[in-house]
Structure 1
Amino acid sequence: MAAGPRRRRWLLLGVLFALVMALLVSVLRAPSPEQPELVIDALPPIEWSSPPSKETIAPDQDLPRLAVGVYATNISNLDLLDDQFSIELLLWTLWEGEPSADPSGQLRLINGIYDGDIQRFQPVRQEQRPGGVWTLYRIRSAVVKRWQLSRYPFDDQILQLQFGLDDPLQPVRLDVEEDHPFVISPGLLLPGWRLKEPSAYASSLSLMSDLGIPPAAEKAVRRQPTVSFDLPIQRRSLLYVAPDFLGYMLAVGLCCMSLMITRSRDDLILAAVVSAGGNYVFIAGNLPVTAMTGFIGNLQLIVFLGILYVVAADEIIDHHLSSYTPRVSNLLRVILLPSYIAITVLGIVWIIP
């Protein structure tokens, strides 16, 4: 009888408490009368400086145009450890200004590697054409390339060439040729890679330093005019599966054999551990450390977890459950091999990028 009034009393107290809290929250959120808007109006107005416009940063459009185009003849030495590759190409320029002021002889490959005679700009020929001074160069150079290998061997890369003048402060209007500025030789093949459609565009390189010269009032950042040529390439991933991951395949096979053979299981499991560890050491010797943080590192983890699963399940089933529940032990022994294969395959499919 007393439960009904007591419940209603607690309900009224709860509603009253909720109303008090709502009132308190509304009072705290209300604007304070001690802070009128007159205080803000009394402050002096702030003069915000407008950001530099594109006209300020972009090169002067009144300058004569230097158009650049390239014809790649050979790409080799894709070195993943040293972050570089080598390229041979023909580069042509078309200068629309005075022939005496032609700056094409000052062009250089900005992301190239200068080491002795590795990078060479060899003039081939020069002609005066109706559009301007046309010059042809033959170039051989090693190029810096920061490889992104977290998805190896399912990775795509972009081979970029960036050309600019020796003098980063020289005003020039660099641009790419309008008709087919980047052409790849039909005979150019990269073993293990697919070549995709190249692209070319005018760009700039920001100089985050005044180089000892006080910056002009209208320029926030100094920019060096450049032209960029990009060649996307895609790795043929299936070509790298067998030679690079044979040790992992052997480790999985040894674990399957240890579950099918009742004797000499310890030797097979030890051989699986050595095979997986040796495969990881082999890949680490051929690839930079950044590649170990992606697909390869996850694959190594799956293989070793599978080995631990085989060892733990075999120990529990044969030495613990067999003496207490032989029927359950026999059933688990039958499904142990299929479960290991299914877990391993699903794990590998899940981490494939």
Structure 2
Amino acid sequence: MPAPGVALEKLGFLTIGTFDGDDPAPGHESLLQEIVLAEELGFDSVWLRHRHLQHGVSSPVTLLAAASQRTSRIEFGTAVTPLGWENPLRYAEDLSTLDVLSGGRMNPGLSVGPPGHFDDVKQSLYPDTADAEDFTYTRVERLLRLLRGEPASTFSGVQGIEVFSDHVQPHAAGLADRVWYGAASDRSAVWAGQQGLNLLTSSVVRVGEDEEPDFAGIQSRTIRAYREALPDAGSGRVSQGLVVIPTDTATDAQKAKYAEYVEGRTARTSSPQGPGRLLFAKDILGTSEEVAQALYAHAAFREVTEVVFALPFGFAHEDYVQILTDMATTLGPALGWSRAA
């Protein structure tokens, strides 16, 4: 249980990679530059979040494939891929290809459930099968079987001059062991543990009808429930993903921008939001010393030794450069983290 004096083992960051819809190339290039910078700073991982039909990364696998050719060490992840948007067989091919290109650096993070705004997109996404699609955990189980190399076809062999395999190609050995599940509830965390998956926690939890809106308490309980459900005690990895903004080298203008951003998001942290009763964590803003103190006071942070800090949305490239640099050079060491070689 990390506390002052117990080192943070892995430091990663998460972003949605925003861009201008009228000129998307510069935003994508800036994100690639940020990933390269993160590797130079010693970050252990970078994670991309899907943003379908928005001005954010819609195809993390494609962008990370590009990043794999500019980097050599930093690990990649998705946090998370909503599998309701994906065909598990085709997605298994994409993930395996990326893992091969990157030299085994891919960590797929997954979630289930109907796609967002499903009634609005189902005619484009599943025009003939929308009512028959299964958006439950079985979609993850299908993907896992395919990543493990179980048969995807009843045919294999030679047809004419072409050779066919009965399982996903390329096969990326070990990829299935690096799958993570994004859980915001005890139920999902327990299921992930039972499957032997790794656990991604984020800045969102679900609050029960008769439960106090204590974000840190709920999230720490969820982590413990996950660990208790693991087939082999201590086998699963857990990562926390709060929004953290260190300001050590920020300009006065940046500090003002960051403070306005945090203030605009704070109201939703006091009570559950919407029919799903979602509770959002407070963004943590301040010097690295102040951020470290806030994290050590956070019950769920004390349950983990890995983090994937989420970058705030909609900031400029130079803001992300400052935040990433402060995370790696000041905040990480304040948490006992040592940069990767």
Question: TM-score, length-normalised on structure 2?
Answer: 0.19
User: Radius of gyration: which is bigger?
Assistant: 1
The higher-RCO structure (CA 8 Å, 6+ apart) is: 2
Greater per-residue strand proportion: 1
